[in-house]
C-alpha cells in the first residue's frame, strides 16, 4: 500500500465502505486503518446510502474506489460533508468469474465497475457490490458472478476464470463535523 497524503488531521477511528463482507473496499479499509493505529470498518449496502448514516464527528471516513461508477457524483454532491484526505494504491483481491456449478453461466451477477469482465454471450445482472454478486449466485438469482476470490470462497462457488488482482486506487474521505465542511 502506498499512501499519497501525510497531512495532519483528526484521527480516523471508523471507516465506512461497501459491503457485504468480501469486497475489495472492505480489504482496503482494513489495510488503510492498520497503519493509522487500527479502528472499525463499517459495511453498507452502497456508498450513497452510507453518507447520511455516518456520524459527523470528524473521526469517521468513507472509503471509495477510483473506478466506483459514480464517485464523481458522490464527491461533488457532498462537498460540505466530505474532505478527501488520502488515496493509495493497492491490488484488489483476485477478480474471478465463478458459478454455483455450471461452466457456462447464462446470467452473471456483477457490480457495474467490473461488468466488462462478463463474457459477451451472457446476460448481466447488475448488483451493488462484488460480494453481493457472489451471494446472488449462491442463492440462485444468477448462474454465475464476477466477484472477488474471497467472496467466491465464502459462498463455495466454482471458479471458472481467475482474472487475477487489479492494481487499484482507493480514496479516503473524512466526514467532517457539522459546520466544518469548508466547501459546498
Is the confidence at residue 2, as pLDDT, over 50? no
Intrachain domains 2-91+167-175 and 95-164 with the same fold: yes
Give the start-to-end residue ranges of the domains of the chain: 2-91+167-175, 95-164
Average of per-residue pLDDT across 67-94: 94
Which is nearest to 70 in space by CA: 53, 47, 93, 90? 47
Which is nearest to 148 in space by CA: 21, 6, 9, 2? 21
Strand, helix or coil for residue 52: helix
DSSP-derived secondary structure for 135-172 = HHHHTTS-SEEEEEHHHHHHTTPEEEEEEE--EEEEEE
Q: Cα–Cα distances in Å, from 144 out to 17, 20, 137, 165?
A: 24, 18, 6, 19
Q: Are 174 and 83 in contact (CB under 8 A)?
A: yes
Average of per-residue pLDDT across 97-124: 96
- Joined together, the cell numbers standing for residue 156 give 463455495
Listed in sequence order, the residues at least 6 apart from 157 whose beta carbon sits closer than 8 Å to its beta carbon are 98, 99, 100, 134, 137, 138, 145, 147
Report the CATH number of the 95-164 domain.
3.40.190.10
Average of per-residue pLDDT across 93-111: 97
Which pLDDT value is given to residue 4?
Answer: 46
Return the higher-pLDDT residue of 23 and 178.
Answer: 23
Query: Mean pLDDT for the chain?
Result: 92
Which is nearest to 166 in space by CA: 18, 6, 27, 19? 27
- CATH class assigned to 2-91+167-175: alpha beta
Is the confidence at residue 10, as pLDDT, over 90? no
Which pLDDT value is given to residue 180?
Answer: 66
- Note the pTM of the prediction, 2 decimals: 0.87
Amino acid at each position: 500500500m502506498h499512501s499519497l497524503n501525510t497531512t495532519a488531521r483528526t484521527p480516523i477511528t471508523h471507516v465506512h465502505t461497501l459491503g457485504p463482507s468480501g469486497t475489495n473496499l472492505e480489504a482496503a479499509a482494513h489495510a488503510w486503518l492498520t497503519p493509522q493505529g487500527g479502528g472499525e470498518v463499517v459495511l453498507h449496502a452502497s456508498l450513497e446510502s452510507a453518507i447520511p448514516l455516518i456520524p459527523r464527528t470528524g473521526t469517521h471516513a468513507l472509503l471509495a474506489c477510483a473506478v466506483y461508477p459514480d464517485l464523481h457524483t458522490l464527491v461533488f454532491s457532498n462537498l460540505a460533508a466530505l474532505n478527501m484526505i488520502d488515496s493509495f494504491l493497492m491490488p484488489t483481491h483476485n477478480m474471478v468469474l465463478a458459478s454455483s456449478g455450471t461452466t457456462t453461466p447464462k446470467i452473471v451477477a456483477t457490480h457495474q465497475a467490473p461488468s466488462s469482465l462478463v463474457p459477451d454471450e451472457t446476460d448481466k445482472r447488475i448488483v451493488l457490490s462484488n460480494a453481493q454478486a457472489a451471494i446472488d449466485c449462491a442463492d440462485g438469482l444468477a448462474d454465475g458472478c464476477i466477484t472477488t476470490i474471497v467472496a467466491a470462497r465464502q459462498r463455495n462457488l466454482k471458479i471458472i476464470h481467475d482474472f487475477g488482482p487489479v492494481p487499484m486506487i482507493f480514496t479516503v474521505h473524512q466526514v467532517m463535523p457539522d459546520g466544518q465542511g469548508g466547501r459546498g
